[in-house]
């Protein structure tokens, strides 16, 4: 069996569902949570984890976005739209989070054998195909030019991007993260990010090439499938898929000991974000 399929077929999975509980919390908490789980799974103090998370109106900026010449005006623009902004410490560029966007993190350990970066991406691609069997092989992974946060593992159907995959590695743990635009309009989200770039750049020449966003290349899964698909329905699909992968699915949040570690990572994430914004 290929390595990326092996990654999904774990003897046990731990499922942490924050698709409802995290909504009104800062998205920084999700980055701290994944760092915490990276260490716990990496050091084999926890079985591999599948975590779902949803945050209300937030623009997650990349480090390069934060270097735009008119970044303060761009942040004000974001706030005028009723969104908050944070800066993430991993790679990638600006993405939109809202109640119609489901994030999934798959967290594995590299302690026994290393997981190549492409293998992590392929595992998530396989997982998303299993989650949406009605699309299956129509889901393709290649860079969608004109999308926000473009990358070689943009997921699309017929050239319309609905998801992007990223990875974070820490203390022998690997977190493979995907954002899935499930509800609402993909092109409206993209137009908003285009507006943020136009405000932050104002036509200035920069060394870094920011994406020139074409909203029409992005869509939600509801639009692609032409049905009213909800985040909740996808979380239920995910639980059923998890049960098909293993008989041993463990539910529940962090233990007291794990919460102490989370407190450490949360402080670190908040401090870094403050330093960026100051």
pLDDT value at 1 more than 70? no
* Confidence class for position 112, pLDDT limits 50, 70, 90: confident
pLDDT value at 240 more than 90? yes
Q: Are 162 and 217 in contact (CB under 8 A)?
A: no
pLDDT value at 121 more than 70? yes
* Confidence class for position 92, pLDDT limits 50, 70, 90: confident
Burial class for 258, CB neighbours closer than 10 Å (0-12, 13-18, 19+): middle
Please report, for residues 9, 43, 115, the alpha-carbon distance to residue 170 in angstroms, rounded to integers and kept in the order given.
Answer: 22, 10, 12
- Displacement of CA 44 from its chain's centroid (Å): 23
pLDDT value at 175 more than 80? yes
Go through 100-114 and write b for each residue having 16 or more CB atoms within 10 A of its CB, e for each that does not. bbbbbbbbbbbeeee
Strand, helix or coil at 52? strand
* pLDDT number for residue 62: 92
pLDDT tens for each residue of 146-165:
999 999 999 999 999 999 99
Domains of the chain in start order, with CATH, are 3-277 (3.30.930.10)
* pLDDT number for residue 148: 96
Catalytic residues: 149
* Confidence class for position 54, pLDDT limits 50, 70, 90: very high
* pLDDT number for residue 52: 97
């Amino acid at each position: 069996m290929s390595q990326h399929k092996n990654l999904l077929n774990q003897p046990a999975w731990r499922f942490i569902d924050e698709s409802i509980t995290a909504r009104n919390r800062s998205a920084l908490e999700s980055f701290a949570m994944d760092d915490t789980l990276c260490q716990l799974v990496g050091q084999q103090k926890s079985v591999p984890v599948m975590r779902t998370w949803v945050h209300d109106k937030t623009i997650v900026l990349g480090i390069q976005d934060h270097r735009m010449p008119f970044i303060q005006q761009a942040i004000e623009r974001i706030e005028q739209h009723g969104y908050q902004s944070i800066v993430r410490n991993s790679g990638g560029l600006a993405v939109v989070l809202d109640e119609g966007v489901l994030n999934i993190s798959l967290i594995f350990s590299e302690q026994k054998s290393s997981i190549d970066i492409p293998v992590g991406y392929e595992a998530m691609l396989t997982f998303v195909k299993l989650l949406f069997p009605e699309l299956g092989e129509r889901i393709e992974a290649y860079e969608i030019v004109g999308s926000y946060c473009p990358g070689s593992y943009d997921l699309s159907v017929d050239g319309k991007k609905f998801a992007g995959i990223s990875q974070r590695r820490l203390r022998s743990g690997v977190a493979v993260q995907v954002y899935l635009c499930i509800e609402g309009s993909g092109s409206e989200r993209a137009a908003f990010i285009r507006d943020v770039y136009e405000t932050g750049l104002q036509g200035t020449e920069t060394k870094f090439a920011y994406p020139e966003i074409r909203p029409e290349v992005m869509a939600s899964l509801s639009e692609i499938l032409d049905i009213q698909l909800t985040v909740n329905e996808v979380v239920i699909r995910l639980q059923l898929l998890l049960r098909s992968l293993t008989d041993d699915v463990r539910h529940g949040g962090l233990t007291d000991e794990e919460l102490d570690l989370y407190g450490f990572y949360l402080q670190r994430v908040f401090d870094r974000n403050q330093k960026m914004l100051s």
